[in-house]
Structure 1
Amino acid sequence: MIGSAMRNIPTDLMRSFVKAIDGGSFTRAAEMVGRTQSAVSLQIKRLEDVVGARLFQRDARNLELTAQGRTFAQYARRMLALNDEALALMQSPSVSGRVRLGAPSEYTDSLLPHLLGRFAQAHPNVMLEVTSDLSKNLLARQQNGEFDLVVALHDDTHAGGGKSIHTEPLVWFTSADHFGHMQSPLPLVLAPPPCIYRRRMLHQMEQEAKPCRITYLSSSHSAIVAAVRAGLGATAMAHSTLPSEIRLLGNAEGLPSLGYLEVRLPAAESSDALHCLATYIGEHLGQTARSVADHD
C-alpha cells in the first residue's frame, strides 16, 4: 500500500504554481507555460490536493499566497531549479561555443551572477561574454549584430517580439534611513532616457498629478542604488532586482501603482549553446526572483 510519504509532486504543477506567483495571476501564468487560464487553475487545485494544503487565498482580490503557500513556494523553486539543472547537465558534453549576452545592469548585478554561475557549471565548454546596458540600447545593438542573446525589459506587453519568460511588478523604494519620500515634490533618482523605469515613473506621476523633481541622474545601476541609500530620493525597479537595506513604498505613501514589466528573450537560436542558455535563463529567471507575495 502506498502511503502519503510515497507521493510525488509533478514538476509541471509546481512550475505553473511558481509562474502564477511571479506573474501575479493565473492568466499571466497561463501565458508563460503555454496553457489556458482554466488549465492552470485546475493545476493549482490538483497541486493543493497533492500537498494537502491551500496555497492561495481564494477570497483575495489579488492573487495572494497563504502562509503554507509561501513556505511551499521556497521548496518548489528549489526543486524546479534542481530538476532543470540536472537536465542541463545531461546535455553539457555535447554543448560548446560562444554566446554574447546582453542584459540590463540591474539583472546582471542581482540575478544573473547566480544563474550564469550555475549554467557555467552545467555547460563548462560554453564561453559567455556579458554586456550591461539599458534594454532599448541592447535591442538596438542586437539589431546591429553585437549580441546573440538579449534579456530585454518591455513596458508594452503587446508590442515587439521575442519569447516572454517572466513578468513582475515595478516597485517603488527609497532609503531605509531617510524620509525624502515625505517631501513634495517627491525627489527622484533616475537613469537618463530611454530607461523604461524612468518613463514609467514620470508618466504615472504625471497621470495622477503627483509633483516630483529629479534630484540625481545616472546611467549606472550601482550609482542609482547608492544615491537612493544616501537619501537623495526614491526610485523604482523590477521586483526581483530590489537591493537590500531599502524601504519599500507604495499606495500607503501616496505613490501611484507602476504596473508590471515583461522580460523577453529575443534571439535567433542558431547554435546549441545559444539555445541552451536561452532555455536556462527562461526557466530560472522567474524561479530565482523573489515572490510577489513576499513584497506585499
Structure 2
Amino acid sequence: MAGFPSIDTDLLRTFAAIADHGGFTRAAEAVNRTQSAVSMQMKRLEEDVLHCTLFQRDGRTVSLTPEGQVLLGYARRILKLHSEVFNTLSLPKMVGTVKIGSPDDYVMRFLPGILSRFAQDYPLINVEVHCEPSVLLLQRNDLDLTIVTREPGTETGQILRQERFVWMVAEGFAPHERTPMPLAMFNTDCFCSTWACNALDLAQREYRIAYTSASLSAINAVVSTGLAVTAQLQSLLPTDLRIIGEAENLPQLPSASIVLLRKHNSAASPIIECFAEYIVEGFKL
C-alpha cells in the first residue's frame, strides 16, 4: 500500500492558529512568524501535502472550507496527542501513583473536572481516590493529599476556598414551614451539623433530625423529594434545590474553609506537587 506524506506539526499548529484568530496576520503573531512565512506554510499545506483548498478568502476575511473544517478537528487531536507524548516521555518521573482523600461532597462537585484535566496531561499517573468524612480523613497518615472541611481558625495546610453554609430545600416544596422542621444531616461527627442545630436552638426554632447519612448523595435524595431541609456549603447546591434563609425565618449560618493537606513527614514528590496544583486550580472554578 502506498505511503502517505507526513504532515509537519508546525503546519498544523499554524493552521489551527489561523482558525482560532480569524486571519493570517493575528495568527502570525501567535506563532511568532511573519505573515509571509505563514502564507508560505499554508500554501505548502494546501498544494504540496493535502492537495485541497483549506481557506475561503474574501478580501481580508478568511474562513475555512468544508475540507478545512475537517482538517481542523484532526489538527487539534494530533496537536493534543503530540503534547501528551512530550509531557509523558520527556518527564519519565511523572509516572506513578498519587493517593488522595476527600469527602464525597467534593468528589461529586470538584474532582471530575480536576481528574479529567490531570489525566489528559499526565495519562501514566494513577490516582487513588478515597472517600471518607473529614473527621476520618484527618486520622489517616497514608494519603499523599487530603481535602477536608475546617472551622475558621483551625485551618492547617493550604486553603482552597472559603464559603458559607446555607439552608437548602427542594424546588416546589416547603418542609421548612413544618413544626418541628425536619432536617437531613450527616450522621458523622460533623461540625456543620452542630452549627445548624446550634443556630436553630439560638433562634428558638423547633426542629428534629429526621434523616441522617454519611453520604451527600443520600441526603440530597431525601431533600430533593421535599422531605427535609439540609445545610451544606453553597458550592454544593444541586440544580434541583434552592437556598432559603432569613426570609423563611431561618438563622444565618457561619462560613467554613476547604483545606488541602499534604502527607506529614515526607518530601513531596513532583507527582504529588503537580496534582496539588491541579486541585488548587480546580477549586477556583
- The answer to whether TM tops 0.5 is yes
**In structure 1, C-alpha distance between the alignment counterparts of 2:117 and 2:195, rounded to whole Å:** 33
Counterparts of residues 225-264 of structure 1 (less than 5 Å): 225-264=220-259
Is there any run of 5+ residues in structure 1 with no aligned partner, and where?
1-5, 7-87, 289-296
Is there any run of 5+ residues in structure 2 with no aligned partner, and where?
1-25, 27-82
Q: Indicate yes or no: 2:142 matched with 1:159.
A: no
Structure 2 contact 165–256 (Cα < 8 Å) conserved: yes
1:26 maps to which residue? none
Q: Indicate yes or no: 2:211 matched with 1:216.
A: yes
Amino acid at match of 1:195: C
Tell me the CA shift for residue 158 of structure 1: 1.5
**In structure 2, C-alpha distance between the alignment counterparts of 1:190 and 1:216, rounded to whole Å:** 6
Amino acid at match of 2:142: E
Q: Secondary structure of the residue that 1:258 maps to in structure 2?
A: coil
Cα deviation 1:55-113 (Å, max 9, x = unaligned): xxxxxxxxxxxxxxxxxxxxxxxxxxxxxxxxx98866522221111111111012211
**In structure 1, C-alpha distance between the alignment counterparts of 2:121 and 2:153, rounded to whole Å:** 34
2:145 maps to which residue? 149
Structure 1 contact 111–241 (Cα < 8 Å) conserved: no
Q: Taking structure 1 as reference, are residues 271 and 234 closer, same or farther at Cα in structure 2, changes over 3 Å only?
A: same
Cα deviation 1:114-166 (Å, max 9, x = unaligned): 1211111122121100011111111112xxx23111011102x2224211121
Amino acid at match of 2:131: S
Q: Secondary structure of the residue that 2:120 maps to in structure 1?
A: helix
2:281 maps to which residue? 283
**In structure 1, C-alpha distance between the alignment counterparts of 2:119 and 2:169, rounded to whole Å:** 35
Q: Taking structure 1 as reference, are residues 96 and 196 closer, same or farther at Cα in structure 2, changes over 3 Å only?
A: farther
Amino acid at match of 1:232: L
**In structure 2, C-alpha distance between the alignment counterparts of 1:196 and 1:149, rounded to whole Å:** 22
1:103 maps to which residue? 102
**In structure 2, C-alpha distance between the alignment counterparts of 1:104 and 1:196, rounded to whole Å:** 14
**In structure 1, C-alpha distance between the alignment counterparts of 2:95 and 2:283, rounded to whole Å:** 22
Structure 2 contact 110–282 (Cα < 8 Å) conserved: no
Q: Taking structure 1 as reference, are residues 91 and 279 closer, same or farther at Cα in structure 2, changes over 3 Å only?
A: farther
Root mean square deviation of aligned Cα: 2.0
Give the TM-score normalised by the residue count of structure 2. 0.65
**In structure 1, C-alpha distance between the alignment counterparts of 2:175 and 2:155, rounded to whole Å:** 37
Q: Taking structure 1 as reference, are residues 108 and 229 closer, same or farther at Cα in structure 2, changes over 3 Å only?
A: same
Report which of the two has the higher share of helix.
1
**In structure 1, C-alpha distance between the alignment counterparts of 2:158 and 2:110, rounded to whole Å:** 19
Cα deviation 1:222-261 (Å, max 9, x = unaligned): 1100000111110011111111111211111111111211
Q: Secondary structure of the residue that 2:160 maps to in structure 1?
A: strand
1:178 maps to which residue? 173
Number of aligned residue pairs: give it: 197
Over alpha carbons, which structure has the higher Rg?
A: 2
Structure 2 contact 133–188 (Cα < 8 Å) conserved: no
1:62 maps to which residue? none
Counterparts of residues 262-281 of structure 1 (less than 5 Å): 262-268=257-263, 270-281=268-279
Report which of the two has the higher share of strand.
2
Q: Secondary structure of the residue that 2:139 maps to in structure 1?
A: helix
Cα deviation 1:171-215 (Å, max 9, x = unaligned): 110111321111122110011131232122112112222211111
**In structure 1, C-alpha distance between the alignment counterparts of 2:172 and 2:178, rounded to whole Å:** 15
**Relative contact order, CA 8 A, sep 6+: which one is greater?**
1
2:117 maps to which residue? 118
**In structure 2, C-alpha distance between the alignment counterparts of 1:146 and 1:153, rounded to whole Å:** 19
Give the TM-score normalised by the residue count of structure 1. 0.62
**In structure 2, C-alpha distance between the alignment counterparts of 1:203 and 1:120, rounded to whole Å:** 42
